[in-house]
Amino acid sequence: MQFNLKSSVMGVALAGVSYTALATTSDVYRFVGHGPVSGALGGAATAFDVGAAGMMTNPATLSLGKPGEEMHLGMDVIFTDLSIKNTATGESAKSKEHSSNRGPYAAPQMAYAYRAERFAFGIGAFARGGVGTEYGKDSFLSRATGGLDTGLENSSRLLTLNIPMAASFQMTDSLAVGASVDAVWQGLNLDMLLGADQVGSLIGAGRAQGSLIPVLGGLPDMRGAHLSFTKNEPIASGADAWGWGGKIGLTYKVSKDTILGASYVLETHLDDMTGSATLTAIDGLVGQVKLDGKIRIKDFQSPAQLNFGISHRFDDQWMVVADISRVFWKHAVKDIHVSFVSNAGQNIDIDLPQNYKDQTALSLGVAYTSGKWTLRGGARVTTQALRSDTVLAVIPAIPNRFGTLGFGYQLTPMSSFDFAWTHSFKKTMQNSSLPNTSAPIEINHAQDSATFAFTYRFWV
């Protein structure tokens, strides 16, 4: 079953998008909503009908639509403004399109939902989120200890793809309950240089161990180490893994105009991401010594999330929505565990400290409908999950203030087009702490994203 599921889903994803990668799309690695309806309303989606995309937040919302079938096809496109400044020298490294691996960033949305009088189910494929950077090989980030230029890349791309299979049941006229089981695929590309001071700090803290440690220490003028596992392909990544996740949820109609909702998204259960990699030792006298081998990123999970929501219709034209969420990053991301084994059997295990904090998010939105048009606007505000003393230049997932706008247009009685625009306001964070940075850095990150979808419905 696993082989068939993987083959069919990856085939659908490849057919739906020619180039897939993620920038830092939301608070940490997640989108501001899934689909343009939720996206335009600040990411709220727990207590009103957002169509088939509702299975990504609260599967019980599948019961809020009219009986019939629904096909959903859409895409997110992300435009980033990201730079890393060396505060000691004033140099800057900007994340740009240095290869075919990154930018502009796009992610697919595909789903099918069926609703009967009391029962609904759906299946889809959605990018849950990710992070992507591309600093090239000529910036200060590619300079080893002592100012030695290496000409080696610094970049990243993390993509998480969810394939939910969801069901919802209308237990009473007021109460609906739903659940989903999600197949989850996660892929990571990474090119990262660690200076000799960073390697030394990791060893001194007991965060780097293995038979390659004395080999690196035995070099006459060791300046750093560079780790690389990257594929310049639309979805396939240098290291990847499959696993599962899920959601449970409910909606309760307080009245015909007011709905309450709640959902719980399970922490993922992903296998370790594995792939082929190259570890390059940089020495001031010997030069670059490359070791080919296998990489393993251990226990890298997406966090659990608890959502509460409310929606209220004042009349046929005006609706307001709100969600409050708690995202349990602290349990999911304490360290990034990296294990490299060379083809000769020598190994090094590195634990990069992260110590994420749990996060609280508030999403607010308002919608106005007139004729065939629906205008939407919203905002999302979150607490900061990352810590400044552990933030990495290649994983700068720091934006936490968002403004959203969008619209929907009823093309025909059975079809509609929806659009959303999200602006992530600029966030600045500094880090001058070993082992995650050698040079003192200042991260400045803002971005915009566009989401659009075409929906076709077959009413019963």
418/415 Cα distance (integer angstroms): 10
Residue 280 has pLDDT above 60, yes or no: yes
Query: Counting every residue, how long is the chain?
Result: 460
What are φ and ψ of residue 198, in 5° steps? Answer: -70, -45
What pLDDT does 347 receive? 98
Residue 6 has pLDDT above 50, yes or no: no
438/445 Cα distance (integer angstroms): 20
What are φ and ψ of residue 245, in 5° steps? Answer: -150, -165
53 in helix, strand or coil? helix
Q: Could you tell me if 109 and 73 are in contact, meaning their C-beta atoms sit under 8 angstroms apart? A: yes
Band of residue 25 on the pLDDT scale cut at 50, 70, 90: very low
251 in helix, strand or coil? strand
Burial label for 334, CB within 10 Å (0-12, 13-18, 19+), is middle
Residue labelled with tokens 């001194």: 204
Say which DSSP state 16 is in: H
Residues in Cβ contact with 348 at an 8 Å cutoff, skipping those fewer than 6 apart: 208, 209, 210, 211, 212, 213, 216, 279, 339, 340
pLDDT tens profile 194-247: 999 999 999 999 999 999 999 999 999 999 999 999 998 877 899 999 999 999
Say which DSSP state 140 is in: G
What pLDDT does 77 receive? 85
Residue 3 has pLDDT above 70, yes or no: no
The mean pLDDT value for 174-185 works out to: 98
Band of residue 24 on the pLDDT scale cut at 50, 70, 90: very low
Residue labelled with tokens 């030069």: 287
In this structure, how many other beta carbons lie within 10 angstroms of the beta carbon of residue 116? Answer: 13
Residue 382 has pLDDT above 60, yes or no: yes
Residue labelled with tokens 């993987």: 6
Q: Could you tell me if 356 and 329 are in contact, meaning their C-beta atoms sit under 8 angstroms apart? A: yes
Mean pLDDT for the chain overall: 91
Residue 20 has pLDDT above 50, yes or no: no
204 in helix, strand or coil? helix
pLDDT tens profile 51-97: 999 999 999 999 998 899 999 999 988 888 899 999 999 999 998 75
What pLDDT does 450 receive? 93
Residues in Cβ contact with 11 at an 8 Å cutoff, skipping those fewer than 6 apart: none
Say which DSSP state 11 is in: H
Residues in Cβ contact with 304 at an 8 Å cutoff, skipping those fewer than 6 apart: 264, 265, 266, 267, 327, 328, 331, 332
CA 6 to chain centroid, in Å, comes to: 20
pLDDT tens profile 435-450: 999 999 999 999 899 9
Torsion of CA 430, 157, 334, 434, to 10 degrees: -40
Better-predicted residue by pLDDT, 398 or 410: 410
β-bridge pairing 155-170 and 175-195? antiparallel
Residue labelled with tokens 């990544």: 237
β-bridge pairing 148-149 and 155-170? unpaired
Show the tokens assigned to 179.
Answer: 């659940």
Half-sphere exposure of 374 (CA within 13 A, CB side): 23
Burial label for 144, CB within 10 Å (0-12, 13-18, 19+), is buried
The mean pLDDT value for 318-336 works out to: 97
142/59 Cα distance (integer angstroms): 45
Q: What is the pTM of this model?
A: 0.91
341/336 Cα distance (integer angstroms): 17
Residue 460 has pLDDT above 60, yes or no: no
Percent of the chain with pLDDT over 90: 81
In this structure, how many other beta carbons lie within 10 angstroms of the beta carbon of residue 214? Answer: 9
Residue labelled with tokens 């299975």: 55
Domains and CATH numbers, the chain: 2-455 (2.40.160.60)
H-type helices in 71-173, by residue range? none
Considering Cα of 358, then 304, then 158, then 237, what sign does the dihedral take? Answer: positive
334/127 Cα distance (integer angstroms): 23
Radius of gyration of the chain (CA): 23
First to last CA, the chain: 32
Band of residue 414 on the pLDDT scale cut at 50, 70, 90: very high
Considering Cα of 370, then 258, then 76, then 443, what sign does the dihedral take? Answer: positive
Residue labelled with tokens 């639309």: 234
The mean pLDDT value for 114-124 works out to: 95
Spatial CA neighbour of 74 closest among 405, 459, 457, 456? 456
Say which DSSP state 392 is in: B
Residue 385 has pLDDT above 70, yes or no: yes
Show the tokens assigned to 282.
Answer: 């940089």
